[in-house]
Amino acid sequence: MSVCLSPNGPISHQGDAPPTRVWVATTDGVACLERVSDGAPWRLAGRSLGGHHIGSLLFEPTHGALYAGAHSGGLFRSTDGGASWERRTDGLTIPHVFSLGTVATPRGVTLYAGTEPVSLFRSDDEGRSWRELPAIGRVPGTEKWTFPPPPHIAHTKSFCFDPRDAATFYAAIEQGALLKTTDGGRNWRELASYYRPEDRWYRDIHRVVMAPSDPDKLYMTTGMGLYASADAGESWEQLTELTFRIGYPDHLVISPADERVMFMSGAGEDPSAWRTTRKARGTAMRSRDGGRSWQPADRGLHQSERPNIEAMCLASHLRGFALFAANTDGEVYCSEDGAESWTRIAVGLAPISKVGHYRNVQTATA
């Protein structure tokens, strides 16, 4: 099985056997890690797309294609495991591709690309051509959308697709809105009951994750903490707050063996604080009761308090699952025992980082 590990791409993978290849999105292209078999040591097998800051990676198994969304340069496609790439930007009028998603439809595979500034593009021909679905950036309230670092432009950060209906999915706008479409992105409705006027951050949505047994049961990570919904996002309960150990959560994955077990990663506090402390205090935690209580799941994960975990994913297979995490220091970790322990499998890569987060934890002389 092959796995993609990126800040803004899909976070769940499925296969028959344990993973033997991991593609990692970095600020300087894509790194490929490989092992010859389950239990064997990992090695750096190659690098590609140097010079491009890759924010999202997606492997589309139907056609065996790997897609890379770049913070500059648009979109790239590879059919040989990243050895060579073809730029596929016909119709993709915004070159800053922030997020990628894919869904199977009755007519084939559809790809979605989210951009900065906020928009949505769709391809039904493996990325050969793209069609903009601009309605996502025209919902009421867009004048309030922003992103704290200059140039303060919001982006389409991530997607979550309903397995019952290919036309229904959610989009996280950072910062600005949680949006839902039921017609494949032609129209959108904002879900905003989670928001309070006194919130420190304005509708800072990171990810939406569905419970495997019930797609109407949602979890949402935000700049204000973790939320849960039992009614497809119409109402929300806040499960963690800014004072929690992960005060700035991003990635959340659910165990395929028991959906009450979930893993969350993120920083101790928001990135504006990192510029002063030079410490993100990135970590991972585990819940065994659907997110109501959390315990540390970081044994072997920390080498320093400085970096943040900016990418995490889960790869399930017939014998269990593996977790992967990567940070702003260019390190990659793997756990194959449910986060009881982590092993560092790569070091010395370029930072794994959502846009400029890595700069906030660099030393003044770096």
Domain that holds residue 119: 2-361
Find tokens 């919001």 and name the residue: 154
- According to the model, what pLDDT value does residue 363 have? 67
14-71 pLDDT tens trace: 999 999 999 999 999 999 999 999 889 999 999 999 999 999 999 999 899 999 999 9
Report yes or no on 216 lying in a domain: yes
In sequence order, what E strands does 85-144 have?
86-87, 97-105, 108-115, 120-123, 131-132
169-206 pLDDT tens trace: 999 999 999 999 999 999 999 999 999 999 999 999 99
Cα 269 to Cα 247: distance, rounded to the nearest angstrom = 5
Report yes or no on 73 lying in a domain: yes
CA distances from 172 to 15, 98, 134, 245 (A): 27, 11, 15, 23
- Show the DSSP H helices in the chain as ranges: 271-277
Check: CB of residue 300 under 8 Å from CB of residue 275. Answer: no
pTM over the 0.85 mark: yes
Report yes or no on 113 lying in a domain: yes
Q: Which CATH number is 194's domain given? A: 2.130.10.10
Q: Torsions phi, psi of 53, nearest 5?
A: -85, 110
Report yes or no on 280 lying in a domain: yes
Question: Total domain count for the chain?
Answer: 1
Find tokens 């009421």 and name the residue: 140
Report yes or no on 255 lying in a domain: yes
Report yes or no on 305 lying in a domain: yes
Look at residue 307 and tell me whether its pLDDT is greater than 80: yes
DSSP conformation letters of 23-71: EEEETTEEEEEE-SSTTSPPEEEEEESTT--EEEEEEETTTTEEEEEES
Q: What is the largest CA-CA distance in the chain?
A: 54
CB atoms closer than 10 angstroms to residue 140: 8
Look at residue 239 and tell me whether its pLDDT is greater than 60: yes
Q: Which of 141, 196, 130 lies closest to 173 in space, CA to CA?
A: 141
- According to the model, what pLDDT value does residue 366 have? 40
89-134 pLDDT tens trace: 999 999 999 999 999 888 889 999 999 999 999 999 999 999 999 9
Find tokens 């793209």 and name the residue: 130
Report yes or no on 214 lying in a domain: yes
Report yes or no on 366 lying in a domain: no
Cα 267 to Cα 247: distance, rounded to the nearest angstrom = 6
